[in-house]
Amino acid sequence: MTDDSASLSSILRVERSRLVGEVRVSGAKNSVLRLLAASLLTSERIVLHNYPASLLDAIVHVGMLEALGKTCVVNGDTLTIEEATVPPSDLEWQGRSIRNTLLILGALVARTGAGSVPMPGGCDLGDRKTDLHEMVLTRLGARVWYEGERLFAEAPNGLTGADIVLPMRSTGATENALIAASLARGTTRLWNPHIRPEILDLARFLERMGAKITVYGQESIEIVGAEQLDGIVHRVMPDNMEAMTWLIGSVITGGDIEIHDFPASDLEVPLIFLRESGAKVFCAGDTAIVRSGRAYPVEISTGPYPGINSDMQPLFAAMGACARGESRIVDLRFINRYAYLEEFAKMGIASDVRSGTAHIQGTSAIHGADVRALDLRAGSALSLLGMVANGSTRITDAWQIERGYDQFLAKAKALGANMQYGG
């Protein structure tokens, strides 16, 4: 599915279903987009295996790379990136923007000494500032400023390593520091980074390209920049959010599924909470077996890795909506990320937010309704609820789901989901 076709087929109809069968997890959205940005740091060939080719945000990002002089060829789940011309400093882009333009800016100023990009897009989760990205680039010696709807940065003499202290653990700022510092002169020490599996995947990628990167637990990262970076072949890590989606979908539909390429080591804490809430999950190697059980109320708060991240909480909310009793969810990253509860209410799910905590009343009387995917994860949560609802559920703006899931519809239908695009 292309970005254009998804926008034309933005209504997803879901009927009551039970998930049964086997599914393989694709490459991770939150890793591959960072790797695509980092590919701008070299003129040499980059090959990505386990590439999630139908993921809409990846399609947009590949278009941006092509606008910057790269040639991108997809063959199955392999993407080959080569450089046709030296990248210009300015990303001229008229299509839908993505949050990753901030990392493209870091890569451009690191490689060419200057860059400008459209303001970032992505999910509307409330206050998502760019100040930490600006701080990172400024500390490395760049001048950063806004003009209209564009963000600019320049460092005519190149970037220089520095000590950078993040006031909060920011995934994006950590990624930008890794990318930009990999071509900076000298050593960069990043304090208080957000260490999570996708960050470590990016660090491995950059290290294999030629940067010297040492991760000191959750305390700091040291990056020794290289004069130039090499091309490499890399396998994209599996998507833990996709794995969580199929797992929770199986639990609430009373399903029996096997999930292959399941990243169990990246999901140790979420799995503890899921098992406490009734999920019957058995992990062996890279396969998870999920057997039918009963959902119990969930009580979680989001936090940095290895905890439950903010993207996961709408999925936990869907599980809580199917449980008997009250579930409580606190999002410590995006304190207002509960707008999807208004869509839940249209399906008969009662909830309220008090003092930053979402209280969700589980019910067995969920019914189909016309709802809207306010963002990527809200859309996937609604699609799961549509499979337990009585009657038909119509999800508008369902293209949001395809932004972050590779072959979502095909995989869901292969597991027995009764869903299709179109009114």
Q: Give the pLDDT confidence score for residue 234 in this predicted structure.
A: 99
Is 72 designated active site? no
Among the residue ranges 297-306, 333-342, 381-390, the one predicted with the least confidence is 333-342
CA-CA distance, 13 to 56, in Å (whole number)?
19
Using alpha carbons, list the distances in angstroms from residue 178 to 8, 110, 182: 37, 11, 6
Q: Give the pLDDT confidence score for residue 95 in this predicted structure.
A: 80
Q: Give the pLDDT confidence score for residue 121 in this predicted structure.
A: 61
- Alpha-carbon Rg for the chain, nearest whole angstrom, is 21
Of 104, 111, 159, 169, residue with least CA distance to 137: 159
Taking only the tens place, the pLDDT of each residue in 49-87 is 999 999 999 999 999 999 999 999 999 999 999 999 999
Q: Residue 124: pLDDT above 90?
A: no
Q: Give the pLDDT confidence score for residue 5 in this predicted structure.
A: 41
Pair type for strands 299-301 and 326-330? parallel
Taking only the tens place, the pLDDT of each residue in 187-243 is 999 999 999 999 999 999 999 999 999 999 999 999 999 999 999 999 999 999 999
User: What is the number of other CB atoms lying within 10 angstroms of the CB of residue 79?
Assistant: 26
Q: Give the pLDDT confidence score for residue 385 in this predicted structure.
A: 99
Give the burial class of 355: count Cβ atoms within 10 A of its Cβ; 0-12 exposed, 13-18 middle, 19 or more buried.
exposed
- Report yes or no: 183 and 229 within 8 Å, Cβ to Cβ: yes
How does residue 333 score in pLDDT terms, banded at 50, 70 and 90?
Answer: confident
- Report the pLDDT averaged over residues 409-421: 98
Question: Bridge partners of 150?
Answer: 118, 147
Three-state DSSP state, 194: coil
Q: Give the pLDDT confidence score for residue 96 in this predicted structure.
A: 82
Taking only the tens place, the pLDDT of each residue in 4-35 is 444 445 899 999 999 999 999 999 999 999 99
Among the residue ranges 31-35, 142-146, 191-195, 329-333, the one predicted with the least confidence is 329-333
How does residue 89 score in pLDDT terms, banded at 50, 70 and 90?
Answer: very high
Helix (H) or strand (E) holding 189: strand 187-191
Q: Give the pLDDT confidence score for residue 129 in this predicted structure.
A: 76
Domains of the chain: 3-26+238-421 (3.65.10.10), 29-235 (3.65.10.10)
- Report yes or no: 110 and 41 within 8 Å, Cβ to Cβ: yes
Mean pLDDT (the chain, rounded):
94
Residue in the block written with tokens 């040492």: 214
Taking only the tens place, the pLDDT of each residue in 244-290 is 999 999 999 999 999 999 999 999 999 999 999 999 999 999 999 99
- Report yes or no: 68 and 107 within 8 Å, Cβ to Cβ: no
Q: Residue 387: pLDDT above 80?
A: yes
User: What is the number of other CB atoms lying within 10 angstroms of the CB of residue 305?
Assistant: 19
| Cβ-based neighbours of 137, under 8 Å, separated by 6 or more | 105, 106, 109, 144, 153, 155, 159, 176, 180
| Angle of helix 313-321 versus helix 376-386 axis, rounded to 10 | 20
Q: Give the pLDDT confidence score for residue 334 in this predicted structure.
A: 76
Q: Residue 2: pLDDT above 80?
A: no
Catalytic residue among 72, 123, 283, 322: 123
Q: Residue 103: pLDDT above 60?
A: yes
CA-CA distance, 18 to 367, in Å (whole number)?
16
Q: For the chain, how many residues are written?
A: 423
Q: Give the pLDDT confidence score for residue 7 in this predicted structure.
A: 45
SS3 content of the chain, % helix, strand, coil (to 5): 35, 25, 40
Q: Give the pLDDT confidence score for residue 402 in this predicted structure.
A: 94
Pair type for strands 393-396 and 370-372? parallel
Q: Give the pLDDT confidence score for residue 336 in this predicted structure.
A: 73
How does residue 116 score in pLDDT terms, banded at 50, 70 and 90?
Answer: very high
Helix (H) or strand (E) holding 175: helix 171-181
Q: Give the pLDDT confidence score for residue 123 in this predicted structure.
A: 45
CA-CA distance, 146 to 403, in Å (whole number)?
27
